[in-house]
Chains A and B, each alone.
Chain A
Amino acid sequence: MPYKHIEISMGPQHPSTHGVLQLKVTADNEVVLNVEPVIGYLHRGMEKLWEHRTYPQIVPLTDRLDYLGAILNNLAYVLAVEKLAGIEVPKRAQYIRVILAELQRVASHLAWIGFNANDIGAMSVLLYGFIEREGLLDLFEEYCGARLTVHGLRIGGVPHDLTPKVCELIRGVVTSVPRRLADIEALLSENRIWKHRTVGIGRIAPAEAIQYGLTGPALRAAGVRWDIRKNIPYSSYEDFDFDVPLGTHSDVYDRYLVRMAEMRQSLRIITQALDRLPAGEVRAKVPRLLKIPPGEVFLSVEAAKGELGFYIKSNGTDKPERVKMKAPSFINMQCFEKMCQGHLIADLVAILGSLDIVLGEIDK
């Protein structure tokens, strides 16, 4: 019987598209032939807005990009501004930034495991992940008063020193998260349904992943040793001892293993930073009206989703001439079609979840 390829529109209002994303799927029965992502539903013109704001005013705006990893966005931006302006950040502030950034990475990964598992049908994992993430958000609230869009860093350092209460909360998180991770792994790692839905799904070869610009845990799951914290260290990451977890099969399951292992490494970094926290100031003297002489800089950090970069061009005034953000999700999303071809429509949500995209930073 003759039949035609069917076209399916998934989203933009679909629970597993992690925001407002439309996927135009062409399928041969259940098998995906190609996928065309349609983005831009969340476009807020951030880069245009940044050209009209002073350097410090931009920091809280970066919170709204990857809203699950606000501090990591702050970090990439403030580091770029500091490099451009030649601001030296006190060692204590660098360590506090590392602690906050790694806590944020754990929070982001906990949200990811919840969403990825929930999309595939394992709802309890979402609840377990969010119980633990709640503790992390409480910690951020204790530190700076906000939970999600925290504005947790400042140009030149951090807004506050760590109080004894915050240190106590951090120590608590460092002991409670591994227990929760063990719970989640007990639910998933050897679960037949989970493995059936993830093993061998959404594979991409290492060389191809580099060609597509894939970064972050998805690239490391392909076995490529690339972690900017190790390769081009920033904010004193060279002081800490941690491993870069790698995968071998480059499928959804390996991305799961890599992120789970990464959370444990983040906790190792946090413990070391807290144990060896240097004394001193937490914020460099930065003029209230920060004017930066003409120049340009590109800098990137290892965010939870991959490489997050900022290009900033200054023009001598207190506002940048141009700020361009290199969003990891934007680049990673391009690989999505490649990963989906030949899989079933139901696998799309598993693969999309494994890429850990946030539409806030894709659409800017």
Chain B
Amino acid sequence: MTIDHPALQAVLDALAARFNDRLLETRFEKGELSVRVARGDLRPVLAFLRDEQGFNALNDIIGLDNANAPVAGRPRFSVLYQFYKFPDALRLRVVTDAAEDEPLPSITGLYKSADWAEREIFDMFGLRFEGHPGLTRIYLGDDFKGYPLRKEFPLAGE
């Protein structure tokens, strides 16, 4: 895929050379590059990006519930990892998908800032992260029932 951004093109080429057909989807919209990988490939791809491509900062982890617009053959939830490369100001997004009962690999070993972000996704969506040092709810009480950011959760409670 050719994109109109030389620095990101270099990153994309390196990723494609290394992971080839394991990159499920590549999108470049509004100047933002986003790469979709399978859950199992997440850790190797992120380790490659961090150690060999210099994406040394994890910006944020974003959970998505696609219940309202399901894509055929794709699990219900998506998790987006937003990265930075210091100090070149390059941004990159890595996307992976998971069903409700499929645990994701925790990336706290790669990025310390992933700790609370993964707990937040667990709290809001009920997705589990394997290998997280203490996966507990971060905002809500431990006895809270349900996961608020799932689409079926009502805005106002009973």
- Tell me the complex Cα distance, A300–B149, Å: 22
Q: Is B23 an interface residue (CB 8 A)?
A: no
- Tell me the complex Cα distance, A213–B149, Å: 24
- Write the nearest CB–CB distance from B39 to chain A, whole angstroms: 20
Contact check, A213 vs B59: say whether CB atoms are below 8 A apart. yes
Contact check, B149 vs A47: say whether CB atoms are below 8 A apart. yes
Size bracket, chain A contacts: 35 or more
Contact check, A226 vs B86: say whether CB atoms are below 8 A apart. yes
Q: Is A84 an interface residue (CB 8 A)?
A: yes
- Determine the residue in chain A with the shortest Cβ distance to B86: A210
Select one of A225, A311, A313, A363 contacting B60, CB under 8 A: A311
- Tell me the complex Cα distance, A324–B91, Å: 17
Chain B interface residue count, Cβ-Cβ cutoff 8 angstroms:
37
Q: Is A49 an interface residue (CB 8 A)?
A: yes
- Write the nearest CB–CB distance from B35 to chain A, whole angstroms: 13
Given known contacts A84-B30, A295-B29, A324-B62, A45 and B69 CB-to-CB distance under 8 angstroms? no
- Tell me the complex Cα distance, A333–B62, Å: 18
Write the B35-56 contact mask toward A (1 if CB under 8 angstroms, else 0): 0000000000000000000001
Query: Which of A84, A208, A224, A334 lies at the interface centre, i.e. has the most chain B CB atoms within 10 A of its CB?
Result: A334
- Write the nearest CB–CB distance from B65 to chain A, whole angstroms: 8
- Tell me the complex Cα distance, A297–B91, Å: 12
- Can you list 16 residue pairs at the A/B interface with Cβ under 8 Å? A210-B56, A211-B57, A211-B111, A211-B113, A224-B86, A231-B87, A232-B89, A296-B34, A297-B30, A298-B82, A298-B93, A311-B60, A324-B62, A331-B113, A331-B116, A334-B112
Give me 15 other A-B pairs in contact (C-beta within 8 A), A48-B153, A231-B87, A330-B116 excluded.
Answer: A40-B140, A45-B148, A211-B56, A213-B57, A213-B58, A232-B89, A232-B91, A298-B32, A315-B69, A321-B68, A322-B64, A326-B82, A331-B60, A334-B116, A363-B139
